[in-house]
Amino acid sequence: MKDIKIFSGRANPDLALRICEYLALPMGRISLGDFPDGEIACKIDEDIRGRDVFLVQPTCPPVNQNLMELLIMIESCKRASAERVTAVIPYFGYARQDRKDEGRVPITAKLVANLVTRAGADRVLAMDLHAAQIQGFFDVPVDHLYAAPVLNDHFLAMNLRSEDIVVVSPDEGSIKRALGHVKRLGGELAIVDKRRSSAETTRQENIIGGPVADKIVLMFDDMISTAGSICGAAHVLAQEDAREIHVAATHGVLCGEAPELLLRAPITSVVITDTIPLAEDQLIDKIEILSVAPLLGEGIKRIHRNESVSRLFDEVSGVKWA
């Protein structure tokens, strides 16, 4: 591992530090700042010629600032003669703009993938992309990790009885994810019928599948952004007399009033990972944060050693997620 260097942008340095601690490696030295006019300044403060470099930078809010910083870091490493540069993007911003769902709109996820590639990234390591096909937007290899084993271990530690569990998909797009959790955790599957009236507004109407009355509901999603869908689903489940409602998501974006909505909703707990750092006003009592640093660290180690990354999920959970 002596030829590996891990650097962090300013988006989530704590996660990068935990990755380095897992790998028993020092954090790479890099200077990042802003010029008076807002331009980003970057300087790699150590020799990386011929090294295998990993840049940890989720493109979380402020999305454009963090994305531009990632591109500049990649450019800096390429000009410093790094042998290989891997962009480690725990949260990929613009992922929800992955298709043309109406006329005269961009596919921005593809544009961002092009930017990362043209900046000089040789590989990308991402976690729980909003749509799996985004991997194909990149013209370089993409290793796609899933936080499912980390979330599953949390609920397995609660020693819940399988007959008490109902795994709920908050919409039809998350059914495959929910089925994966059922295989690992047991219980029945249910789906909340979600209807979208605009980009910001959805409504939840019916529950399809197993009965939830007097059951412990585990609801999984890839991200919680405005929390409208999750809270709407929780209200429908509560009306059906669910005993407890636990929500789990990889990315806690938590825009605007999302923390307040989660606090008021009939939700017992909210489990998210540390792909995105939370501000003080986002840390409500219901939220519990799990670290994906060991998972990302193991992925980095396997990429560096040219070992299989997909096999990691078979070894961790016994269930193939990729």
Contacting residues for 256 by C-beta, under 8 A, at least 6 apart: 226
Please give the pLDDT value at position 271: 98
Going from N- to C-terminal start, the domains of the chain cover 4-146+293-317, 148-290
Helix, strand, coil percentages in the chain from 3-state DSSP, rounded to 5: 35, 25, 40
The one catalytic residue in 5, 194, 215, 301 is 194
Q: Which CATH code fits 148-290?
A: 3.40.50.2020
Q: What's the distance, Cα to Cα, between the start and end of the chain in Å? A: 26
pLDDT band at 195 (very low <50, low <70, confident <90, very high): low
pLDDT of residue 319: 37
pLDDT at 318: 40
Q: Among this protein's residues, is 194 annotated catalytic?
A: yes
What's at 301, amino acid-wise?
K
Distances (CA, A) of 40 to 60, 161, 238, 306: 17, 52, 48, 33
Q: For position 126, what pLDDT does the model report?
A: 98
Q: Do domains 4-146+293-317 and 148-290 have the same CATH topology?
A: yes
Into which CATH architecture does domain 4-146+293-317 fall?
Answer: 3-Layer(aba) Sandwich (3.40)
Burial (CB count within 10 angstroms: exposed 0-12, middle 13-18, buried 19+), residue 108: middle
Average pLDDT over residues 45-67: 98
Q: Hey, what are 44's tokens?
A: 């790699």
State mean pLDDT over 97-109.
Answer: 95
* pTM for the whole structure: 0.93
Helices (H), 13-147: 13-23, 63-79, 108-119
Can you tell me the mean pLDDT for 214-238?
95
What letter represents residue 37's amino acid?
A: D
Q: What is the mean pLDDT of residues 71-90?
A: 98
Q: 3-class secondary structure for 92-129?
A: CCCCCCCCCCCCCCCCHHHHHHHHHHHHCCCEEEEECC
320 pLDDT above the threshold of 50: no
